[in-house]
Amino acid sequence: MPKNASAVHHQVVPAGDPSPQTCIQVARQAAILAVTAADDAMTAVCHSRSSAAARPEAAMHAAHKEAVEAERHADRAEQYADDPTMPSSAPLYCARAAVDHAVRAQSAAGVETTAEDLRAELERKLTAAEYAERETERRREEAEREVEERAATGMDADNRDRAARNRYLAEGHVAALGWTAGHVRVLEAAESGRLYWRGGQARQAARRGVWNGGRRISRDRTEALFAARFLLAVRQDDSTRVLAPSPMGQTALELARLHPAGLHDNDQAAYEARFTRVRRRHKRRDDQKAAARVLPPLDSSARNLYRKPVTLTEQRARAERDAAVRWEDEGGHCPGAHTPRPAVESVASPPVRIILPLHRHTAVQPALW
């Protein structure tokens, strides 16, 4: 083996797809060769005797057909190269197709298939310098796209993928909940920490901790969500019950926000949709109606697959909290060191008693009162 074999090996590396400009040039050259072959076939027909013109005419038509296809793919290569919505491999696909049609046109015309030589241009391997330059350009474009995506969504790539999976999940499960926009509003009030139950009525307090007055919330929807375990009740010292979303309720709320088209227009439409789903499970009409009045739980697959995306702002806040915890764990302030102490968080409110639902293994909780 020659001494410079390893050097030669490192100078040529697989390059993948050629540049769009190369694809356009090859496709256009292939189209020219195909058209030239079709013209040659037509000239052969003109010079042939009428008694023996059948075969040259067939060759002419075949060559003409292939030439038209070669030109069409050459035009598409130029269009796709200028279209940012098309995949990067589209110009290469068109160039290869144009070369294939050019070879068939030359073969049909009975001329030398010089278009075969164009394949080498599409398969040529780049040198190490060319490959490095292309990789640098590709990474720069990826970095620019990532910056744009982060600015638009506030999330990194992993969490954007998670959000996309959640949207797909919502499309398949929100309609099965049998909800209206009113159910979403009840859960949003509970999510705010200001939804409470007192005297047989649900209300949204003006602010947390003030369990008096406030806007009325639908009693029927609140009871239905609580019975279906989308809400949990926390008893206060004055017997007021503060309502909060359960883990299943929080997941269902997030999915409903992602796919509001799956919500029904009104309570009657939601009831009819639930009735259609449970009708075959019961024989008696009264049992069917009773089952339709109960909200079904969120499917277990949706609960297991849903993962809430974390924004970049939330990631930074979490990192700051973790740093503060580590700072405390490592002993906090040291004499002689001017390390700023992190801000003291507000004192946690005293614990309250949580009402554990009866019949834990059933899908329905007891009433709120």
Q: What is the tens place of the pLDDT at every residue in 155-207?
A: 998 999 999 999 999 999 999 999 999 999 999 999 999 999 998 899 999 99
Pair (58, 183) in one structural domain: no
Pair (40, 109) in one structural domain: yes
Pair (113, 166) in one structural domain: no
Whether the CB-CB separation of 192 and 244 falls below 8 Å is answered with no
Percent of the chain with pLDDT over 90: 49
Pair (83, 165) in one structural domain: no
- Dihedral, CA atoms, 135, 137, 138, 144, nearest 10 degrees? 140
Question: What range does the domain containing 226 cover?
Answer: 161-306
How far is Cα 39 from Cα 44, in angstroms, rounded to an integer?
9
How far is Cα 82 from Cα 314, in angstroms, rounded to an integer?
38
- Residue 64 falls inside a structural domain: yes
Q: pLDDT tens, 225-256?
A: 999 999 999 998 888 999 999 999 999 999 99
> Among 272, 287, 306, which residue terminates a domain?
306
- Residue 366 falls inside a structural domain: no
- Residue 239 falls inside a structural domain: yes
Whether the CB-CB separation of 222 and 202 falls below 8 Å is answered with yes
Structural domain total, the chain = 2
Task: Tell me what pLDDT residue 66 has.
Answer: 93
> Among 287, 306, 325, which residue terminates a domain?
306
* Amino acid found at 253: L
Asked whether residue 69 carries a pLDDT value surpassing 90, the answer given is yes
Q: pLDDT tens, 88-107?
A: 888 999 999 999 999 999 99
- Residue 336 falls inside a structural domain: no
Pair (297, 169) in one structural domain: yes
| 360's tokens | 């834990």
Pair (87, 167) in one structural domain: no
- Residue 152 falls inside a structural domain: no
Could you list the beta-strand ranges (E) of the chain: 195-198, 201-204, 215-217, 231-235, 241-245, 353-354
Pair (275, 197) in one structural domain: yes
How far is Cα 226 from Cα 305, in angstroms, rounded to an integer?
23
Q: How many CB atoms neighbour CB 140 within 10 A?
A: 10
How far is Cα 162 from Cα 157, in angstroms, rounded to an integer?
9
Pair (82, 176) in one structural domain: no
> Among 306, 340, 362, which residue terminates a domain?
306
- Residue 227 falls inside a structural domain: yes
- Residue 357 falls inside a structural domain: no
How far is Cα 70 from Cα 27, in angstroms, rounded to an integer?
8
Whether the CB-CB separation of 311 and 260 falls below 8 Å is answered with no
**Residue count of the chain:** 369
- Residue 178 falls inside a structural domain: yes
Task: Tell me what pLDDT residue 130 has.
Answer: 76
Cβ neighbours for 351, distance < 8 A, ≥ 6 positions apart:
none
Whether the CB-CB separation of 63 and 41 falls below 8 Å is answered with yes
Sign, CA dihedral 149-150-156-160, equals negative
Q: Is the pTM of this model over 0.75?
A: no
